[in-house]
Structure 1
């Protein structure tokens, strides 16, 4: 029995990591035939979960490469490096130029397939756990909570990439994504539902996960697993995007009050980014050190003398005031070519881990949401905490109204730079994309709203599924 399970595990997890199973998903997202023996006990569920986690990092199309480069280029934080002539530059050029993307040619377009694969694999686990005949209930709850959170994260990122923001229409009634609360048959042809339905599923998954999860599981990097705090932090983020300010405040406050998390202080800030182990501010990270060749560091980070695909723009460099320690995370690799020290690679350990959620984001979520409901005292306090952590000599915050909201948006750009937030911040807040230090041949400025600010559904999926509607403008 044990050898059979191990064989099934190898086949199942391999299908997660390599592309040999893509035929199952060439049609609009469908259910892969799972191995019943693998998912019949908690050991098998644990191995299957490892495969779901691997989808976050073992794909060029998701967090480790494509999505981070996409947000950095489109926000104006990064521009393409003219001295880099690799295929990565060619593939990302249409993204950078807000140009109509050739069918399935850009790394970010592959995110569609990759994210639905993750959801499908998570669904296999979610459907299997209630049917387990025995096993520790606490561990069942933990695994189920992790799978639900991963499914919610993938659905949420699909909405950010392929649907207009929640505020595009009243109550998010515009076209959203295909949601998969359960796996579907191979020949089913689902349609995209209104965006509010995707948010309803995402929030339901995360609320259920919150009720099931405990602390972090033990492992080589514990914060690479999902805990109750991770589910709560993601709920704060989702409610922020939904502009449900009160719930965003509630969940951000839950995380801030959790003694497991503390802001790294000013004196240790640079060292925390230089370290290859997690710190007290990290909430959820991707552990990437064993992922082989450099990925994220090669995009716009430190990687010895090797040229990176992108370099930081003057637009980003010039927002930091004198005395802001975060400016010291920017390094001039060659004359006029700046990279970030947030992400670095060394042959002895590989890529530094990537933080998906940090506590600083929770303070900024609470600050923004408080400003929106007119609680200037809380908004100023939270904004001041992040500003004075970066520069202890920063003046107290006295702003209000739109000026306070703009200051919080700017602080999000400073603090969370190159972590995948600023582009989505601009869209959800209805701001134009204005890139001054821009070497694109077109669309250095894009007015909001715009059809071009979201991605097209891959053409191959539309060719297979007549019920799948393309985004406007493509």
Structure 2
């Protein structure tokens, strides 16, 4: 996989965007330079960082289009028991949602390449930047810290799909951790070694972002946080600690975020999904989408064409209190004779599917902390308190529950499913907690209605193109079941 060019400029979109029936148009980058060119000052690195963020909008990462895409946004829900494919679907995802994939699957290779494209751009932003540390130390810290955090975060996303056992000390194979631009030949490290690299980058990023020249995001405003700051790094750490089974560290990181970012009042919750400036909308990090830059969720429901390719499963709808839970009307809408996913309709009163992708919200931190507490003996009351706090913020007239043991664990898992519905978590949550995937509302277009623990499909195959191009990865390094 060769990546020759680096991308600059505010008008950048992902290189994989293309014209489609979902309204994605191709936009040429403002500035493109050959990767062999070196930067002359920190402002050059600033432009490169902007281009790095822009690539998150690519149709193979958070963006959606008419072909298989949105691998790190809505696809993990499409592959789970949260959604059911409908007769309105164009069948672009049929192999993925039915777990009928192999190493030559073009969609999987596209999502792999999109992730490493972002990593390559982050690495070019890091290349040689230490030479300019004294030019403006605060600006240097701000740029380098964000690039390191992006590199760690995208490798983490890759690990969720392509890693098997995600425990901290797992000796199963992880994903190549690339620390140089256009680095081609690199072996698959173990999952443990991948985690080590992720946490090292995040630790350095956090230290750098604690001392910057200017505030990265508007202080106290949690409506649009388009860049990674110190709070965001703590949130990423909390998520990564949970996945790797480091529960006390997850509690510490999540608490740091919770102490700084409030949950919104129930009357303001719906405005989060319309991207309305309400001063504080409990966002930790979001990726902006504007006209001409694609959309993050139209592969589920395409409002401009009123096409619902994936509808919410009857099971998940039944878990919400439709009268008192504010999430019900924010997440679902009845259009015609069907219920569609409506949390990504558009900004304000628009219904074009163009909304910002919410990467991390503070409510996830409550759920991370609650789950982590249940894994540390003697912390059941703390876990219950977090569960009740989140429910009280979402449900009018909520009466605090009293739960212990497995009932509490199951309640937290259910609340996570409801709160983070179609935000890219469900498939991974089932995977990391080793639960069977059972589609009780399977639908005519799902030929596979269950995925038991241990099935090879929980782990994606390393793309055959990578095996052919990378001299240090061969067929023996392929994930089990795909040789």
Please say if residues 144 and 209 of structure 1, whose CA atoms lie closer than 8 Å, have aligned partners that are also in contact.
yes
Please say if residues 301 and 309 of structure 2, whose CA atoms lie closer than 8 Å, have aligned partners that are also in contact.
no
Counterpart of 1:4 in structure 2 is none
Counterpart of 2:236 in structure 1 is 234
Counterpart of 2:321 in structure 1 is 321
CA gap of 1:435–1:143, structure 2 versus 1, over 3 A, is: same
For each residue in 1:252-303, what CA deviation from the matched residue of structure 2 results, as whole angstroms up to 9, or x when unmatched? 0111112xx210111221233233447430010000124445x324222462
Counterpart of 2:45 in structure 1 is 45
- Aligned pair count? 442
**Higher percent of residues as helix:** 1
Equivalent-residue separation in structure 2 for 1:218 and 1:391 (angstroms)? 29
Matched ranges for 1:185-334 at <5 A: 189-214=185-210, 215-217=215-217, 223-258=225-260, 261-277=261-277, 279-293=280-294, 295-301=295-301, 303-322=303-322, 323-329=324-330, 330-334=332-336
TM-superposed deviation, 1:155: 0.4
TM-score by length of 1: 0.86
Matched ranges for 1:67-106 at <5 A: 67=71, 68-85=73-90, 89-90=91-92, 92-101=93-102, 103-106=104-107
Matched ranges for 1:355-370 at <5 A: 355-370=358-373
For each residue in 1:197-247, what CA deviation from the matched residue of structure 2 results, as whole angstroms up to 9, or x when unmatched? 111111111111111114424699851011100001100000000110000
Counterpart of 2:24 in structure 1 is none
For each residue in 1:303-333, what CA deviation from the matched residue of structure 2 results, as whole angstroms up to 9, or x when unmatched? 2452133222112211112421111120122
CA gap of 1:109–1:276, structure 2 versus 1, over 3 A, is: farther
For each residue in 1:344-392, what CA deviation from the matched residue of structure 2 results, as whole angstroms up to 9, or x when unmatched? 3677986111110101011111111111103012101110011111113
TM-score by length of 2: 0.85
Please say if residues 177 and 193 of structure 1, whose CA atoms lie closer than 8 Å, have aligned partners that are also in contact.
yes
Matched, 1:429 2:444: no
Structure 2 residue runs of 5 or longer lacking an equivalent are 18-32, 65-69
Equivalent-residue separation in structure 2 for 1:271 and 1:222 (angstroms)? 12
Matched, 1:18 2:21: no
TM-superposed deviation, 1:80: 1.9
Give secondary structure in 1 for the equivalent of 2:284: strand
Equivalent-residue separation in structure 2 for 1:332 and 1:359 (angstroms)? 28
CA gap of 1:9–1:174, structure 2 versus 1, over 3 A, is: closer
Equivalent-residue separation in structure 2 for 1:408 and 1:96 (angstroms)? 26
Equivalent-residue separation in structure 2 for 1:427 and 1:182 (angstroms)? 31
Question: RMSD between aligned alpha carbons?
Answer: 2.7
Give secondary structure in 2 for the equivalent of 1:120: helix
Equivalent-residue separation in structure 1 for 2:10 and 2:176 (angstroms)? 25
TM-superposed deviation, 1:51: 1.0
Decide which moves more: 262-271 or 46-55: 262-271
Matched, 1:471 2:476: no
Equivalent-residue separation in structure 2 for 1:114 and 1:327 (angstroms)? 33
TM-superposed deviation, 1:102: 7.1
TM-superposed deviation, 1:12: 8.8
Give secondary structure in 2 for the equivalent of 1:338: strand
Give secondary structure in 2 for the equivalent of 1:438: coil
Give secondary structure in 2 for the equivalent of 1:331: strand
